[in-house]
Amino acid sequence: MGYTAIVDYGVGNLKSIANAMDYLGLPTQVTDDAGTLERADAIILPGVGAFPDAAERLRLSGLDKVVVTQAEKKPILGICLGMQLLFDMGEEVRDCKGLELVHGRVKRIETAHKLPHIGWNSLTFQNDAPIFRGLEDGAWVYFVHSYCGVAASEEDVIARTEYGVSVVAAVRSGNVYGCQFHPEKSGETGLQILKNFGELNR
């Protein structure tokens, strides 16, 4: 049986993601090894913290090129900051190049509500995507963020949420998926999303 590789580049809550996948019976390997990523059936890119720090760590590890290359061959899921890194550019702290797998920029949420946006919020789905199979509009998930992706094309947006303004909650471009929320902290809804993702290439 194959496995899903969770990219370890020094940024992200790797254990909670691995535990959620293990609970679902989906084997994972937490790794910073290019070969292990290349042999995986799918890849999860986590991330916590500031965009430029994470982007720099990913580049210094050399894993940025591996993730981009593997995105042509297998499903990739970016979670929270990991989703933001999928975009062309981030504006947190300073302009910083992302992985350019989803076209658009990561900007501070322009809302009158308090930032960061922390807590549960509901999803509105659009542009049908297999990672949301079995879920209905209004499903609740857990967010922690002050910045969000602004996609160049609405066709790449597969879910939105409301936080004073409409915020991109999930994206898809080919094999590449991103969730701004934390599925590993989102109860049964999050487990269903991880299960759907883990079964994409099986």
Does 45 score more than 80 pLDDT?
A: yes
Does 1 score more than 70 pLDDT?
A: no
State the pLDDT confidence band at 95, using cuts at 50, 70 and 90. Answer: very high
- Report the pLDDT averaged over residues 130-140: 97
What average pLDDT is seen over the chain?
Answer: 96
State the pLDDT confidence band at 154, using cuts at 50, 70 and 90. Answer: very high
- Report the pLDDT averaged over residues 129-151: 97
Question: Considering Cα of 116, then 78, then 182, then 160, what sign does the dihedral take?
Answer: positive
- Report the pLDDT averaged over residues 176-181: 98
Does 202 score more than 90 pLDDT?
A: no
State the pLDDT confidence band at 13, using cuts at 50, 70 and 90. Answer: confident
Supply the pTM of this predicted model: 0.96
Domains of the chain: 4-199 (3.40.50.880)
pLDDT at 150: 98
Q: Pick from 182, 155, 151: which is nearest to 168 by CA?
A: 151
Does 162 score more than 80 pLDDT?
A: yes
State the pLDDT confidence band at 4, using cuts at 50, 70 and 90. Answer: very high
CA dihedral 31, 78, 22, 29 (to 10 degrees): -10
Residues catalogued as catalytic:
80, 182, 184
